[in-house]
Amino acid sequence: MCLLKVYVEDEKTGNKELIAGNVALISIENGRIRLLNIDNEEKFVVNADLSFIDALNSIAVLRVHGDS
């Protein structure tokens, strides 16, 4: 099973920061991006859009707009 590492990318600087590992599900709920890992732990990201998913390297990048 391939699980994702999720990074957030700052819209202004382009810097990426790892925010979650072993992510099994990404969904959008009430305008927030919900990350659910294999241990059933949730994390929500606001003011962001999905930038890309790289299945070969098991990463997803969210682009954050402004403060989150």
Within 13 Å and on the Cβ side, how many CA atoms surround 20? 25
DSSP string, 11-23: TTT--EEEEEEEE
Q: Which residue has the higher pLDDT, 64 or 68?
A: 64
Amino acid present at 60: A
**In the chain, what are the domain boundaries?**
4-64
How do beta strands 42-45 and 48-54 pair? unpaired
User: C-alpha 67: how far from its chain's center?
Assistant: 15
Check residue 68 and give its pLDDT.
45
Check residue 55 and give its pLDDT.
93
Check residue 60 and give its pLDDT.
98
The pTM for the full model equals: 0.88
- Dump pLDDT digits (tens) for 5-58: 999 998 888 899 999 999 999 999 999 999 999 999 999 999 999 999 999 999
